[in-house]
Structure 1
Amino acid sequence: MLSHTSFTLLASNHIAELQRHAKSQRLARTAYPDRERTPRVLWHWANR
């Protein structure tokens, strides 16, 4: 059983990670509004 403090730390770490991910997703959406083309461009860039 985790102590309350370590659980709170874990939870806040997890929330921060989720927020960071959401922010990067939001940035990716604004940077690439054309969601159809983006994966193909990334795939091409990765495989050239």
Structure 2
Amino acid sequence: MKELPKKAILEFKNLLERDTGKKYSYEEAKMIAYRWIEDCCYVFDIMERD
């Protein structure tokens, strides 16, 4: 997977903090972003097969 730009991860971090009301480190937000991307890709793959 292509690496996400730092600006994209920081924006994701801001959205995550806004939606959850919690504070996250840059590394935590990066890990969550990649996990969400993998999960979304998995779901889209399933949808394409059906």
Q: Which has the higher contact order (CA 8 A, sep 6+)?
A: 2
TM-score by length of 1: 0.56
Question: Deviation above 4 Å: which 4+ runs of structure 1?
Answer: none
TM-score by length of 2: 0.54
RMSD over aligned CA atoms reads: 0.5
Describe how 1:1-48 pairs up with structure 2 within 5 A: 1-28=23-50
Alignment gaps of 5+ in structure 2: 1-22
Residues 7-36 of structure 1, C-alpha deviations (whole Å, 9 max, x = no match): 0000100010000000000011xxxxxxxx
Question: Which entry has the higher C-alpha Rg, 1 or 2?
Answer: 1
Alignment gaps of 5+ in structure 1: 29-48
AA in 1 matched with 2:40: L
Aligned length: 28
